[in-house]
Structure 1
């Protein structure tokens, strides 16, 4: 498939929107994932200016494999209607999804076919469809540098697929219409725990910002993990995470009181199947609590899948 350079299209993306997307990519580094893109736009002839204002997560019933992704449309529709009620000018601009797990560095034929049907559908509210594609994870990079992404547009009545050059994409600092809380935005002060407030007083503005991001991501994605504080340990997290087989092992994440941006993680009383994970994380450190939880969740699921695959090969049927 030949992609045409789009010299008449510009895109503005809030850094908070990219971070929300990249957090989802961190959680699913084996399977494809994705979501919806919300925003506004301006058209003047062929000139098109796209302003992203939010991203909707995949939803609780999304389906994923390494080469296939299906969103939870019912959930996303409810979210969109809620946002639309607050911000009537908002539009569904398009979708974002990932290929960094399968090494495909551009939209697939299936992606293009699906997006073409969408932009040509009578109920699609714009004369274009915008697609953001995460193509690569960059080893050793952090923040918004940790993934590579590309931008595409398909237009109504036009068979070409347009790739927007990186020079036409601008990152901005602006609030999102959705998610209204999460890794990109601080929670209202009233909802923060006493442990969070004590920690932020102790370590200043940089640690405060990082801990707020920890608290927001953990609250959203690991609701059974709670923020705690003790005289000896300082701030730490403890609670259960839900794994692929439905089990809920208890996890503890500790912050180094002398180096508050280093965290360690372990499982309490792990089942035998997960003991290799505990051993592998024995000397590992992470830059924050959310990274530690995401890493141990992925490692546990990978270990469980490996164990189940081995049992399948011995002839026993296993089901999730």
Structure 2
């Protein structure tokens, strides 16, 4: 029997709202920090399947979340496309050669980087009980492209946004290549045991409306179409962070199975504009779980009430902050588990 999270993503409502948190496997957990110190670099940990599975399972053991999200990174796809990937202490990820001034054709595919990720999924699915849904993920093409073009993260994604205007043909070729490999990568995760997958478009909000249609909606729609043709039973969660008023267009045109809302979206408004019965995920502000207190409980209950007429997966509006106290997570779990809708 599928767990409550998978049931919800497939459109079923229940009084028990399923719960998981973006970035739930990671730096806020002392057991993660201990393992990371023993294993060394972040990428070494991601590509060590047994260690990555252990990280994936740590928050399930501690909090009993309904979903286990694969411990990995959205930049595995550009690594497999042939860019060199490094995570430098205090600096974040670096990709080279950066495509702002190098050709995509100069890269050599390195799809062997997918293999340890697939093995992580296999190990985790085998270790999880049937009540816990195994979640895979990938970065959406626009967000992945911003890193590939700039060679690193940036506040405003200027390099990719400039290319969209000055050389849209080059950007389209990059996005097309990301789409193709992302479909293969997600099918591989599904075949290894992922029961649902999420598309993370963390930088979708940096685009003007017409650009959003071109670089966010269109590529994600192609990925969803391909996944539905190949693995139609697997729900796809779309997360276009910063979509704002384009939320309904994203839902309609990409045909994702569920929508993840960032913390800037009013859940009452989202409930009023999204298709009836569409599962929704979210959307507590990560800084609120960091702050804690009574306001955490009040906001969590407000979100639960606001989305109570449709299938709802409780989550954050983005990833959990590394400094979040364990006690605050425990309080949130108790609030969601104890809510009587």
When normalised by structure 1's length, the TM-score is 0.28
More helix by share: 2
More strand by share: 1
When normalised by structure 2's length, the TM-score is 0.27
Structure ranking higher on relative contact order (CA contacts 8 Å, 6+ apart) = 2
Kindly name which structure, 1 or 2, has the bigger radius of gyration based on alpha carbons: 1
